Chain A
Amino acid sequence: MSEFTWLDSTVLVIYILAIAFIGARFGRGQSDTQDYFLGGRKIPGWAIGLSVMATQASAITFIGAPGWGFDGGLERLVTFINVPIAMAVLIFLLVPVFHRAGVYSIYELLERRFGPATRSLSAALFLVARGLATGVVLYAPALVLSVVTGWDVNLTIVVMAVLAVSYTVLGGISAVIWTDVIQMFVLWMGAIVSMFLLIGSLPGGWSDVLAFGAAQGMFDAIDLSLDPTVTYSLWAGLIGGVFLHIAYFGTDQSQIQRVLTSPSIQEGQRSLLIGGYLLIPQMLLFLFIGVMLATYYDQHGLTAPDNLNELFPRYVVNAFPPGLAGLVIAGVFAAAMSSLDSALNSLSAVSVRDFYSRYAKRDASEAHYLKVSRWATVFWGIYATLFAFFAGNLGPVIEAVNRIGSWFYGALLGVFLLGMLSHRTNARGAMAGLIAGMAAVWLVSSTQDISWLYNNVIGVAVSLAVGYGVSLTSPAPNREQLADVVIDETAPDMQAVLSTRAGKASEVTAEARLTRRRCIGLLVWFCVVLTALALFQSWANG
């Protein structure tokens, strides 16, 4: 059994300094907020996709998911099984609208469609929800560092925050995305190395893991129970999870902002394809590490720590050879910083675009807004740090983050859908829908014992129904408010005129059928994954 040696520390420190250096270099030549928040709209789709993946594999996944796998096997995979469907909806519905609008913050679009009050309330909700979640994201890796080094956890929180804030302040979204690309590979390498070392430490290797997992029912990923109180049933994952992920990837500025950095709608859609195909395998990898750890603990007669978030890092430090432990812990840092940096940049974007430049100082120079944006990043870093001090009392970390989001995101998605799909909804309806949707989620989650995965469905359904109903009590919006926001923006007679004109016009691109093919590909992938899991579960149960 080894400790965290000087070699491990050296690997870790070199990695952290390298990331900070690379991230800071992106700050050179940035002259305006389009560079800082949208990377000049020049970042390729594959890099954005890997960045989204890295954020998803944040430290809370890296640490929390092996704990899930240890505790419940693959049952919680249903939370992610819906991601291909969610990505298909985003590619087809939301990305073209957001990209075409040319906005920095997606809440700007709500002002065009519904007016300033809806925009400001939505942006404020995002700041509260993402600000709190960022505190949790900061707490998780700090806990790991605390376990590894023996430092006080509050000290490690401060160290992590200073590091991530410094390179995000200097490099903006470009630093966020390109450091995420590097961190994505380090993170996966850390996870794969862990998996092979774990397998090597078991006398029977894979057969031990499969035998133990099958005997303990850990491969039962699909629970067909119709009971809404069963948290991880297939239906909760499919119905609730789809809305959870559409809302998360589509209405959370920290996610969708990166898609807006792409040079075209097609590139933005391509970035989501990567997550659509790879997020399930990634979650499967981390859950399997948890099953392997359960096998290891069983064979060695060990007792798991009270806090399952400490399970994986404790194993790494105690069982891995010198140098490799440092590499895997670097992977944890990679995961943590890739989540933290994107959250800080998006919090800054919303603060500056939706509040400062909207209400406080409307006519300032780009240099001024860039300076304010950097200070806003520092502010949110401090805010997240303070919240992280209290995150230890929120229970299992990964679920805490999702719960915070699920109070808000369903209602927010409902309002975006009202804006895009309905010609009749107006500002009054949008505000009513937003407030009623949130109130409904709060009421149901505090009085009923149903799966939290359904929270977003409730939020969306109530905000759509109330929003549309209340809209009927006041005049319909004018044509300009509908332009570029609603999907079907023109009357049937104009559709005929546009079709005639388009038929005579020159062709821009041959990618006309690309979006449809991409969506179909994701749906096929979803079916393949579901079938594979069902077959695996069937095999495990004899």
Chain B
Amino acid sequence: MADYALPRRIDEATAMARLARLGARRFESARLGLWAYPLGLADASPSAWLLCHRQARRALLWPGPLPETRDAADEVSLAGGEPVPPERVARLWFWERLASRRLRSARLQERAPDAVTLPLWLGYGGGRATRRLIVVSAVSGEALVALKPAVLAGLRGAGEG
């Protein structure tokens, strides 16, 4: 069970409209396990978190403290797998820093990552022959293409489990 859970801000009606626009015909809620790496000054408490997954080629950023643990009902639980190797986290952080000037003063803190779950809305499109997966963040409502391999791996694990 994850230590932290990010809040679900996009409700079902909004998600349905968003997923319909993206071509989904069926949908469900899910939570994807991620590893949160602290960002900030060396000895200070973290000011932001870098959310990583072994299967994702981009990281996500979460500003401020991680929300407290809570129960997640009626959601497909997608395991986060093993923590991401440090050298890979450093590379992901490098790309995020390059992408935004505002992040350049922050540093990756040297401590163990925390487990966190990200709420998602999963859409299923396509025909009978070929299914398509659409991943939308339930925090921002944005489509998260970069997380799709991680979600697929989680779905495979959930199916086997």
Contacts and interface: CB of A to CB of B under 8 A. Distances in A.
Interface of A: 41, 96, 99-100, 102, 112, 263-266, 363, 478-480, 483-484, 487-490, 493-495, 497-502, 504-509, 511-512
Contact of A508 (B19, B132, B148): B19
Contact of A497 (B57, B100, B159): B159
A506 B27 contact: yes
B23 A99 contact: yes
Contact of A484 (B24, B124, B130, B148): B148
Interface in B22-36: 22-28
A501 B23 contact: no
Contacts of A96: 23, 125
Contacts of B25: 502, 507-509, 511-512
B28 A480 contact: no
Interface in B101-144: 101, 122-125, 130-134, 143
B2 interface: no
B97 to A, nearest CB: 12
Nearest to A41: B21
A478 B146 CA distance: 11
Interface stretch (B43-51, B63-71, B87-95, B149-157): B149-157
B10 interface: no
B76 interface: yes
Contact of B145 (A265, A480, A500): A480
A488 B28 contact: no
A495 B159 contact: no
A502 B124 CA distance: 6
B20 interface: yes
B149 A506 contact: no
5 contacts: A99-B22, A102-B143, A480-B57, A497-B156, A508-B123
Contacts of B27: 505-506, 508
B26 A506 contact: yes
Contact of B23 (A41, A265, A489, A498): A265
B28 A505 contact: yes
Contacts of A41: 21
B16 interface: yes
B131 A100 contact: no
B155 A498 contact: yes
Given A265-B22, A506-B26, A508-B26, A501 B145 contact: no
Contact of A501 (B130, B134, B155): B155
B98 to A, nearest CB: 10
A27 B126 CA distance: 37
Interface residues of B, number: 33
Give the 3 A-B residue pairs with the shortest CB-CB distance, closest first.
Answer: A502-B124, A498-B131, A505-B26
B124 A498 contact: yes
Given A480-B146, A487-B130, A500-B159, A505 B19 contact: no
Given A498-B133, A505-B122, 12 more contacts: A41-B21, A102-B22, A363-B101, A483-B145, A494-B155, A497-B155, A497-B156, A499-B131, A501-B28, A501-B124, A505-B27, A509-B25
Contacts of B100: 363
B77 to A, nearest CB: 13
B28 A508 contact: no
B132 A489 contact: yes
A493 B153 CA distance: 11
A102 B16 CA distance: 16
Nearest to A97: B23
A495 B131 CA distance: 6
Contacts of A363: 100-101
A508 B20 contact: yes
Contacts of B24: 508
Given A480-B57, A480-B145, A490-B131, A502 B101 contact: no
A483 B149 contact: yes
B26 to A, nearest CB: 4
B103 to A, nearest CB: 11
Contact of B156 (A112, A478, A494): A494
A500 B146 CA distance: 23
B23 A100 contact: yes
A518 B143 CA distance: 27
A358 to B, nearest CB: 13
Contacts of A502: 25-26, 124, 131
A494 to B, nearest CB: 6
Nearest to B100: A363
Contacts of A505: 26-28, 122, 124
Of B21, B24, B25, B101, the most chain A CB neighbours within 10 A belong to B21
Nearest to A503: B26
A264 B123 CA distance: 14
A501 B76 contact: yes
A98 to B, nearest CB: 11
A480 B148 contact: yes
B159 to A, nearest CB: 5
Contacts of A112: 145
A494 B152 contact: yes
A363 B101 CA distance: 8
Contact of B152 (A265, A484, A488, A490): A490
Contacts of B22: 99-100, 102, 265
Given A480-B149, A484-B148, A495-B131, A501 B156 contact: no
